[in-house]
Amino acid sequence: MAKKKKFARESYVTMTELVLPNDTNTLNNLMGGRLMHWMDIVSAIAAQKHSNRIVVTASVDNVSFGKPIQLGNVVTLKAKVTRAFSSSMEVHIEVDAEDIPSGKKFASNSAFFTFVAVDQSGRPIDVPAAVPETEDEKALYDGALRRRQLRLVLAGRMKPDDATELKSIFNLEQQNGK
């Protein structure tokens, strides 16, 4: 039987939060842990929409904190499944902030989270394939296998020699004399 498919856009989620005093550090900036909490929520919802299953967070890629988000800013988090494997899904999250009184908006963060769909007993379960449509979706989809292999190598769950996508990058660099 052919594996079910869903368009990446079907998993799209937007979440908006207002940075309140309880969300901030002593410099009145949004605490990184609070932002990661919101990122985990929005990306889990995207993974649930894609899989129609309970999902658990499997990994979080590098999260860099660029511009600080301040008390009173409005934070918009956008998440979408970029690619699905057997039971896991990579979700891309983009975080923007806005100071409404001044009219200033800026991109703050982005990251990739990985979720695994599970059944009622907590065992991994198959998920539909993700079908990219736009050029951005296709680029994220194309890079997802490389990012997945890197995650697995770093976690000790894949041997570096088995990471075919990573090998092709290093071989290309060697061929170009880098």
- CATH number of the domain residue 99 falls in: 3.10.129.10
Residue 151 lies in a domain: no
Over the stretch 91-127, which tens digit does the pLDDT of each residue have? Answer: 999 999 999 999 999 999 999 999 999 999 999 999 9
Containing structural domain, residue 51: 5-132
Residue 177 lies in a domain: no
Over the stretch 119-131, which tens digit does the pLDDT of each residue have? Answer: 999 999 999 999 9
pTM above 0.75, yes or no: yes
Which class for 113: exposed (0-12), middle (13-18), buried (19 or more C-beta within 10 A)? buried
From CA 145, how far away is CA 148, in angstroms rounded?
5
**Is residue 151's pLDDT more than 80?**
yes
How many independent structural domains does the chain possess? Answer: 1
Q: What is the pLDDT of residue 153?
A: 77
H helix or E strand, kind and range, residue 104: strand 104-118
Which distant-in-sequence residues (6+ apart) come within 8 Å of 100 by Cβ?
74
Q: What is the pLDDT of residue 170?
A: 59
Backbone conformation region of residue 20, classed left if phi is above 0, alpha if psi is from -120 to 50, else beta: beta
